[in-house]
Amino acid sequence: DITINDKFTLDGKECINKGWQDSKKTSVISWSADEKLLTITSKIPMQDGTDMTMTETYQMEGANLKVVANANSSFGEWAETYLFDKQ
């Protein structure tokens, strides 16, 4: 199991959290103009000297929370979408 405990602020300033191994993950949070979409954009340094860029978006779709996560690095790209159903 992996547990990640990141802390963010909603003031648009950079937040620094623990990345992989001894690296630091730098993130900025922003709201869409209509304040219905929250975006977290993060950069994590990779061992090859490049950065991985990750974008996570959070929004309500009806009564459900939709989370879309994308990452891009020298090792490739990935995308995941989660839909959380309110119980």
Within a domain: 71: yes
Q: Which tens digit of pLDDT belongs to each residue from 15-24? A: 999 987 888 9
Within a domain: 9: no
Domain that holds residue 42: 32-84
Q: Binning pLDDT at 50, 70 and 90, where does residue 8 land? A: very high
Within a domain: 55: yes
* 55-61-62 Cα angle (round to 5): 160
Within a domain: 3: no
Within a domain: 59: yes
Per-state percent for the chain, helix, strand, coil, to nearest 5: 0, 60, 40
Within a domain: 41: yes
The answer to whether the predicted template modeling score (pTM) of the entire model surpasses 0.85 is: yes
Q: Which tens digit of pLDDT belongs to each residue from 28-58? A: 999 999 999 999 999 999 989 999 999 999 9
> In the chain, how many domains are there?
1
Q: Which tens digit of pLDDT belongs to each residue from 68-84? A: 999 999 999 999 999 99
The answer to whether residues 32 and 52 touch, using CB atoms and an 8 Å cutoff, is no
